[in-house]
Amino acid sequence: MENLYVLFPISGVKTWVFLPPLVSLAVSTFTSMAGVSGAFILLPFQMSVLGFTSPGVSSTNFVYNIVAIPSGVYQYFKEGRMAWPLTWVIIVGTLPGVFIGYYLRILYLPDPRAFKLFVGLVLLYIGSRLLYETTGKAQASKARLRELDNKFSARAKQIRELQHSQAAAGLPPHAVVKTITFNLHVIEYEFWGERFRFSVPAMLLLAFLVGIIGGTYGIGGGAIIAPFCVAVFHLPVYTVAGAALFGTFLTSIVGIFFYSVLPAANGVAASPDWLLGFLFGAGGFAGMYIGARLQKYVPQKFIKFMLGFMIVSLALKYIVQYFAA
């Protein structure tokens, strides 16, 4: 067993070689169902369990994203659940934020303690909002999304009952995303007979702020923007997941470029540990695909509760660490 332990020279981490892919497999299977890569959970794992605390942990998390995400995006694309206008707005808004986030991490926050408090407070709000969305009071005001969720549940049951027939191959034609309006002011799309719309400037502002946070910690932003799309813009998680993942994928590529090429002050180690990131990504690649396949069988309420619980737990960990230090 000892010969299966590997020392990663860039990060200085020494661990069992199968630990990173197994952890990322378990994490990404569940988080990808809500449009989240799982990087926001893997980051504290690398810091607290593996002892990887330099800014390079942020860029290593980006490596995980670019290896793991394509399988999940492919599945959402294959099933017609990619809301492309939403995807492009997220990307355009996030990229400038990632650039700013890089310099915040390198120049002002080489020690992430203070910024963890800020991120913890933001995630605490988002997670709490998601958990509230699962309560009876919130559900009573969301009749349209609840009806959509019931349609998915009924269809999933039908698929399980008719696995031997051609009808079980996928979702019906009206369960794909169809763009209705796409301009600089508003985007509207149709999904399963229902129309959803949101303000483009508001989404761009959200994506920009998310890019700053994601660029600083290497979480890509999906952990923040997906819950906001669901809880604030009232978009169905079935259409948000693919867009959030694809946006995270592209911004992670740009993030790696910033951390690898741009100069780092005071000798700060910012380059990614490519091998460690690849091992995390390999497990995440399988988990993303599994999660994307399973999403249509899982009630939206459960997805919200699952993601909300994980975000609140992580937020409390950040906040407690700040005051306990």
Structural domain for 297, as ranges: 2-161+177-324
Average pLDDT of the residues in 128-157: 66
For residues 185 and 117, which has the higher predicted lDDT (pLDDT)?
Answer: 185
Average pLDDT of the residues in 177-183: 89
For residues 165 and 265, which has the higher predicted lDDT (pLDDT)?
Answer: 265
Average pLDDT of the residues in 246-260: 90
Q: Considering just the CA atoms, what is the radius of gyration of the chain in Å?
A: 19
pLDDT of residue 165: 46
Answer whether residue 263 is part of any domain.
yes
User: Can you tell me the distance from the alpha carbon of 9 to that of 42, in angstroms, rounded to the nearest whole number?
Assistant: 19
Answer whether residue 292 is part of any domain.
yes
Average pLDDT of the residues in 224-239: 81
pLDDT of residue 21: 95
Answer whether residue 306 is part of any domain.
yes
pLDDT of residue 9: 87
CB 206 within 8 A of CB 195: no
The structure's pTM equals: 0.78
Q: Domain total for the chain? A: 1
Answer whether residue 171 is part of any domain.
no
Residue 230 has pLDDT above 70, yes or no: yes
SS (H, E, C) the chain: CHHHEEEECCCCEEEECCHHHHHHHHHHHHHHHHCCCCHHHHHHHHHHCCCCCCCHHHHHHHHHHHHHHHHHHHHHHHCCCCCHHHHHHHHHHHHHHHHHHHHHHHHHCCCCHHHHHHHHHHHHHHHHHHHHHCCHHHHHCCHHHHHHHHHHHHHHHHHHHCCCCHHHHCCCHHHCEEEEEECCCEEEEEECCEEEEEEHHHHHHHHHHHHHHHHHHCCCCHHHHHHHHHHCCCCCHHHHHHHHHHHHHHHHHHHHHHHHHCCCHHHCCCCCCHHHHHHHHHHHHHHHHHHHHHHHHCCHHHHHHHHHHHHHHHHHHHHHHHHHC
User: Can you tell me the distance from the alpha carbon of 290 to that of 292, in angstroms, rounded to the nearest whole number?
Assistant: 6
> Which segment, 3-7, 85-89, 104-108, 115-119, is predicted with the most confidence on average?
85-89
Answer whether residue 167 is part of any domain.
no
pLDDT of residue 88: 92
CB 101 within 8 A of CB 214: yes
pLDDT of residue 265: 64
Q: Which residue has the tokens 């981490």?
A: 13
Average pLDDT of the residues in 211-237: 81
Answer whether residue 51 is part of any domain.
yes
Answer whether residue 229 is part of any domain.
yes
Residue 300 has pLDDT above 50, yes or no: yes
Q: What percent of the chain has pLDDT over 90?
A: 23
How many Cβ atoms from other residues are within 10 Å of residue 96's Cβ? 15
| 1-19 per-position pLDDT tens digit | 556 788 898 888 999 999 9
User: Can you tell me the distance from the alpha carbon of 286 to that of 162, in angstroms, rounded to the nearest whole number?
Assistant: 26
| 92-105 per-position pLDDT tens digit | 999 999 999 888 88
pLDDT of residue 164: 43
pLDDT of residue 273: 94
Distance, C-alpha 253 to centroid of its chain: 15
Q: What percent of the chain has pLDDT over 70?
A: 83
Answer whether residue 82 is part of any domain.
yes
CB 121 within 8 A of CB 311: no
Average pLDDT of the residues in 273-297: 88
Residue 163 has pLDDT above 50, yes or no: no
Residue 184 has pLDDT above 70, yes or no: yes
